[in-house]
Amino acid sequence: MGDFWVFGYGSLIWRPGFAHVETRRAHLHGYRRSLCVYSFVHRGTRQRPGLVLGLDHGGSCVGLAFRVPGELRDEVIAYLRERELVTSVYLERTLRVRLEGGGTVEAVAYIVDRKHEQYAGALDAAHAAAVVRGAVGQSGNNEDYVLSTLKHLEALGIRDHWLEDVARGIAPS
């Protein structure tokens, strides 16, 4: 099989964790980046959930597309499934993304399952910040996750006004 693409919109941007031979800025229509997933493992616990990003229906999202050599398909897909499907809150899909500079590709992406108990829905920024503040899971504290994602988006010139509002609500004054 030939090379394939993976779409990253959150922590995959700053910590993909898999081998790839090309990275391109990409635009996904029909889904938006949102802190819409209660985290019971990586950034919170069942007793004190945090929030992590998901691709939720509606709008659009600018992220990164990673081109992975075809011979690494099984290894990379296994890694992504172990990382993203730990509680089955995400659904693995192949979605069409538009690459910056031209062209479209099919990319593996993980969208939120709106029927899952961890789906938080569309929260306002103040509520999201309140959930994030103080939450800690196996991968660290929730504030670091949000602030690191925002820092990396800003470095790429990607604006996410809602996530910026959340960050203002969690950052020390």
Residue-wise pLDDT tens digits, 53-107: 999 999 999 999 999 999 999 999 999 999 999 889 999 999 999 999 999 999 9
Rounded to whole angstroms, the Cα distance separating 151 from 83 reads 22
Provide the mean pLDDT of the chain.
95
Question: How crowded is residue 138: how many other Cβ atoms within 10 Å of its Cβ?
Answer: 12
Rounded to whole angstroms, the Cα distance separating 42 from 138 reads 5
The backbone torsions φ and ψ at residue 97, rounded to the nearest 5 degrees and listed phi first, read -120, 150
pTM above 0.75, yes or no: yes
**What is the residue whose two structure tokens read 């479209």?**
104
Rounded to whole angstroms, the Cα distance separating 6 from 3 reads 10
The residues carrying an active-site annotation are: 84
pLDDT tens per residue across span 94-142: 999 999 999 999 999 999 999 999 999 999 999 999 999 999 999 999 9
- Per-domain residue ranges of the chain: 4-170
Give me the pLDDT at residue 172, please.
60
pLDDT tens per residue across span 23-52: 999 999 999 999 999 999 889 999 999 999
Q: Which CATH superfamily is domain 4-170 in?
A: Gamma-glutamyl cyclotransferase-like (3.10.490.10)
The backbone torsions φ and ψ at residue 149, rounded to the nearest 5 degrees and listed phi first, read -60, -45
